[in-house]
Chain A
């Protein structure tokens, strides 16, 4: 068998150009498949860890996925609000460590404005135990302070000290702007790869303030002066939802039941991890479609390999007769061609693995900055080993075709090539 390996290698070396092209096509398709798999894993991980450290999210009674969509992803509209009294009731319950109130409804140039408290910057976690960090600046303090996410700052080229105007409503075409009460950017958050990047954060009191001279969607009268604002009670009457952190996880189910059975108003409490899983199941089709597409590209690469090996078969009948004459058995001829196919596949897969890791090493910084994906070069995961094994197996199966053809011809030809 050692003799066969030498022959196969020498034969491949002799056809360097086609062999290099074949290996390149397998390498590129392998790199694509492994890359899709790696990013898929990262995207899934990242998605499932969009919110972490939060035990419950509470909002008006609705479907868990819908609540997750507006409270976390800021997609869609809440069905109803949560009254301030209800919020305080649960916030002050024994066992509750912290709460983050969220109030949605306004926007800034397509980005959602989130009214919240400074607890947001203190307690919100993502991707395991990562907390929000400031690229520049600090949390909001004064009424008209705003903190923007990384995408907002980047896309609108905002810097600390810029003044922005919040628009009433969230539609594409905004009818009215709170241009009488502009905000000043005091903080820019580092990228998280979560919806936080696309949010403008202000205090709940600020939302009250800018709506103080509004009734039924239109502005009435003059904007209140700072002195007037200071004298006002800016406690909101209601909020959109709130995040709850407990002192002990043990209380999660009890609190969830208490929320769901709360008499004064219909509320829902969801565990973000569970709801994220449900949502990912809906989106999972897309990632599977991507993986299937990449697998088809690998299949095309292997078919190219098959073509390259098959194309040589006719001109190599002579070679097979020579091998038979020096004592090779038909099984040797079979083994030689199978070995060539497997070598091509293995070299292609190996090159693909290196290519993918090289690309990741070069792109990981960009991927993190641009998409918040933490994909780095590294040793293949079990799932990737499995894919590599499948590619090799597919190469082996593809190699059976020319090997079998050459075997049959070699038995029929013997030492004499009949053409």
Chain B
């Protein structure tokens, strides 16, 4: 049986000198599972994303991505694991303005040989892999692939970001309020596209937001507080 795409056990984290911010005993996302994680701002959602992405190290506990340990390893290996197995979509300003849309999509393939090989194996070439994803996300027209990122609308930019997160079939896509800059209609459309492509790539999705209205669209919704997060006042 395949390992879960995200497995967190006994996670403890506090900023140096601060109170304990996160305390997750167990949190698992299976392959193909779309999980909605909500919590008010300041509850440690961004910190959790940095821990999962390996740009922060926990004080205690373990984080595994696709069966590979993310915690307790040197930074170099965490960066490598992130490049190989994770796709990230931010709230906004996801793209490098000086690169073309296609080059933005292919950025993960520049830092991960695994992603590059997988994209080529599946689509024949990197350009075709990028164009396939852009097409699937409704950006296959008007020569958008060759335009610079700065010329796109916010909604288009978020879809390009989704294509980038998915290129080379990562195990897990983490998204930090990617729809908050979109209007209501666009939000749902974006989510449906994201779901479909995550499924096509066989990736799990961890979607972090404080917008409860999106909750029903997901396989599972979890409150950070229920996991033991937001432990303000709980002495470390």
Contact = CB atoms under 8 A, between A and B. Distances in A.
B169 to A, nearest CB: 14
Contact of B98 (A10, A318, A415, A416): A10
A415 B111 contact: no
A327 B79 contact: yes
B55 A324 contact: yes
Contacts of A3: 110-111
A351 B33 CA distance: 56
Interface in A316-350: 318-319, 321-330, 332
Best-buried of A11, A318, A327 by chain B (most CB within 10 Å): A327
A325 B111 contact: no
Interface string B82-113: 11101010100111111100010001101110
B110 to A, nearest CB: 4
B20 interface: no
B221 interface: no
Contact of A328 (B56, B90, B111): B111
Given A322-B94, A322-B95, A327-B79, A414 B111 contact: no
Contact of A13 (B83, B88, B98, B112): B98
Contacts of B86: 327
Contacts of A327: 79-80, 82-84, 86, 108, 111-112
B98 A326 contact: no
A14 interface: yes
Interface string A399-419: 000000000000000111000
A50 to B, nearest CB: 57
Given A415-B53, A416-B46, A416-B50, A326 B76 contact: no
Interface of B is mostly: helix
Interface in A1-32: 3, 6-7, 10-11, 13-15
A46 B50 CA distance: 68
A318 B91 CA distance: 12
A309 to B, nearest CB: 15
Counting contact residues on chain A (CB < 8 A from B), the size range is: 20 to 34
Contacts of A6: 110
B204 to A, nearest CB: 17
B97 A326 contact: no
Contact of B107 (A321, A326, A414): A326
Contact of A414 (B53, B94, B96): B53
B95 A415 contact: no
Contact of A415 (B50, B99, B108): B50
A415 B93 CA distance: 12
B59 interface: no
A383 to B, nearest CB: 39
Interface in A269-325: 318-319, 321-325
A415 B76 contact: no
Given A414-B50, A414-B53, A415-B49, A325 B79 contact: no
A322 B79 contact: no
Nearest to A2: B110
- Chain A CB count within 10 A is highest, among B55, B76, B79, for B55
A332 B49 CA distance: 21
Contacts of B56: 414
Contacts of A416: 46-47, 49-50
B188 interface: no
A416 to B, nearest CB: 5
Contacts of A10: 96, 98-99, 103
A319 to B, nearest CB: 6
Contact of A326 (B46, B164, B176): B164
Nearest to B89: A325
B96 A319 contact: yes
Interface in B160-185: 164, 176
A329 B49 contact: no
B90 A325 contact: yes
Contacts of A325: 53, 82, 88, 90
B75 interface: yes
Contacts of B97: 14
A10 B149 CA distance: 13
B79 A415 contact: no
B88 A326 contact: yes
Contacts of A7: 96, 99, 110
Contact of B75 (A318, A326, A329, A332): A329
Contacts of B84: 327
A318 B93 contact: yes
A3 B109 CA distance: 10
Interface in B46-64: 46-47, 49-50, 53, 55-56
Contacts of B83: 326-328
Interface string A231-275: 000000000000000000000000000000000000000000000
A401 B103 CA distance: 28
A14 B148 CA distance: 10
Interface in A83-129: none
Nearest to B91: A416
14 contacts: A10-B99, A14-B97, A14-B98, A15-B98, A319-B96, A321-B90, A325-B53, A326-B111, A326-B164, A327-B84, A327-B112, A414-B53, A414-B56, A415-B46
Interface of A: 3, 6-7, 10-11, 13-15, 318-319, 321-330, 332, 414-416
Interface of B: 46-47, 49-50, 53, 55-56, 75-76, 79-80, 82-84, 86, 88, 90, 93-99, 103, 107-108, 110-112, 164, 176
Given A327-B111, A328-B83, A328-B111, 12 more contacts: A6-B110, A11-B96, A11-B98, A13-B98, A325-B82, A326-B111, A327-B79, A328-B79, A330-B75, A414-B56, A415-B55, A416-B50
